[in-house]
Every structure is written in structure tokens, then in C-alpha cells.
């Protein structure tokens, strides 16, 4: 079972990807993790990617797909995998499809965790992080016992720059320009499945489970 997770930043696709991976005992693969592992292990592909990253440039799609294919060729991916954070654009999806096709392989499902922009802005701007231990909370969904104070270490909580409404709006704008077209792309291949991401996380997972077990 080979799955791609789609959804705007803050839609909860990473959480659902981890749950799918745990339930079906398949790896949860994020491109960021693979890059870090390859760089840490000093692989040829990792060193090539590092050159771009050190210059603050984006790693070219072909190289990203090479690193990804190297990862999915590993033994733990025999029964499938969940891709989280890749592809982000149509050209990336096309490069990935071509490479998988040459291996006689293809993606089975593209699961879109659908959440309206307003809900995402509210969800992310309610996040709070501890300046000391890094624990995260939410003022509505996972509040602390004492407002603004970390339950774990008693230090102050902050709203991170990444979670500020103006930053979230910018990220959503980029998402709609670059990544949302993938929804039509995978719909055209008849592998797109959408779930309502505004529901409780457990309910969202139940909906995903129903799709994958159908």
C-alpha cells in the first residue's frame, strides 16, 4: 500500500500519516527526514543535496526523487509506505510517477486531508510552545492547567513566528499556488480520496481507515 498524504500546512496530514504507518506497519517517510539521514550518513546523494542546502537553494526535483527512490527500495518498504511532504508540485509528481513506472510500480492512494483556510489559521494561531522544554499545547484543544505556563517545566509559553496568522496566511497562499493543483492531478488518475479534516483527529483516522480497508 503506497500512499501520498496531501493537505494544507496545519491540516494534520503528518499526524494521520503516522497513524497509518503505525496501523499498517509501513514506514512514514518525510523528505526532510531522508535528507537529514543521508547527510548524516555521508551518502553520495546526501552530499549532493547538502551542496544545494548549504547555499540556501532548493534541492532539484530529480535529486529529491533519487533520494526518495533509494529510501523506498529499502526492505522495510516491501509492503508499502506513506509519503508526507512530497510531492509538493505537479513537476515533482510527474518525476516521481515516471521513476516509479520505470520500476513497474505506482502510488495506490493520494489522501487529501481537507480543512478550510479559516480553520487552519484558527488552529495554528492557537498553538503555544514552551520556550524551555519545547512542549507544545493549544489554547482550545490542549490547554495548560495554568494559562501561558508549561505543565511540564513551569516556564513561559509563546506563539511561535511560524504559527502567527500572517505567516500562516503566506504559507497557505504558497500551498494554493503550488500544491493544491496536485489534488486535480491525482483525481485525474482516479487515486484521490478526500477526508474532512475539521473533524476530531480520531474521526479523521476512522474515515481514512474506511477508505484503505474498502
Say if residues 112 and 195 touch (Cβ distance below 8 Å): yes
Catalytic residue at 123?
no
- Among residues 2, 13, 123, 193, which one is catalytic? 13
- Among residues 50, 164, 171, 199, which one is catalytic? 171
- Among residues 50, 160, 164, 199, which one is catalytic? 160
- Among residues 50, 51, 75, 88, which one is catalytic? 88
Catalytic residue at 171?
yes
- Among residues 2, 66, 123, 127, which one is catalytic? 127
Catalytic residue at 36?
no
Per-residue 3-state assignment (H helix, E strand, C coil) for 46-80: HHHHHHHHHCCCCCCHHHHHHHHHHHHCCHHHCCC
Within 10 angstroms of residue 204's Cβ, the number of other Cβ atoms is 23
Catalytic residue at 160?
yes
Catalytic residue at 19?
no
Q: Is 9 left (phi over 0), alpha (psi -120 to 50) or beta?
A: beta
Q: Give the start-end residues of each E strand in the chain.
A: 2-6, 28-30, 81-84, 109-114, 127-130, 136-138, 157-158, 192-196
Under DSSP, is residue 9 helix (H, G, I), strand (E, B) or coil? coil
Residues with active-site annotation: 13, 88, 127, 160, 171
Amino acid at each position: 500500500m503506497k500512499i501520498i498524504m496531501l493537505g494544507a500546512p496545519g491540516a494534520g496530514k503528518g499526524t494521520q500519516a503516522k497513524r497509518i504507518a503505525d496501523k499498517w506497519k509501513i514506514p512514514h517517510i518525510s523528505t526532510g527526514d531522508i535528507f537529514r539521514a543521508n547527510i548524516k550518513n555521508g551518502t553520495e546523494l546526501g552530499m549532493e543535496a547538502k551542496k544545494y542546502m548549504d547555499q540556501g537553494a532548493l534541492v532539484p526535483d530529480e535529486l529529491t526523487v533519487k533520494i526518495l527512490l533509494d529510501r523506498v527500495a529499502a526492505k522495510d518498504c516491501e509492503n508499502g509506505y506513506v509519503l508526507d511532504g512530497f510531492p509538493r508540485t505537479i513537476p515533482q509528481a510527474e518525476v516521481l510517477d515516471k521513476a516509479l513506472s520505470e520500476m513497474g510500480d505506482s502510488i495506490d492512494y493520494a489522501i487529501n486531508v481537507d480543512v478550510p483556510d479559516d480553520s487552519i489559521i484558527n488552529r495554528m494561531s492557537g498553538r503555544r510552545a514552551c520556550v524551555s522544554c519545547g512542549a507544545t499545547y493549544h489554547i482550545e484543544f490542549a490547554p495548560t492547567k495554568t494559562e501561558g505556563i508549561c505543565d511540564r517545566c513551569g516556564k513561559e509559553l509563546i506563539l511561535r513566528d511560524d504559527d502567527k496568522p500572517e505567516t500562516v496566511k503566506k504559507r497557505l497562499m504558497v500551498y494554493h499556488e503550488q500544491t493544491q493543483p496536485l489534488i486535480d492531478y491525482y483525481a485525474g488518475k482516479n487515486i484521490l480520496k478526500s477526508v474532512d479534516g475539521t473533524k476530531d483527529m480520531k474521526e479523521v483516522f476512522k474515515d481514512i481507515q474506511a477508505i484503505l480497508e474498502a
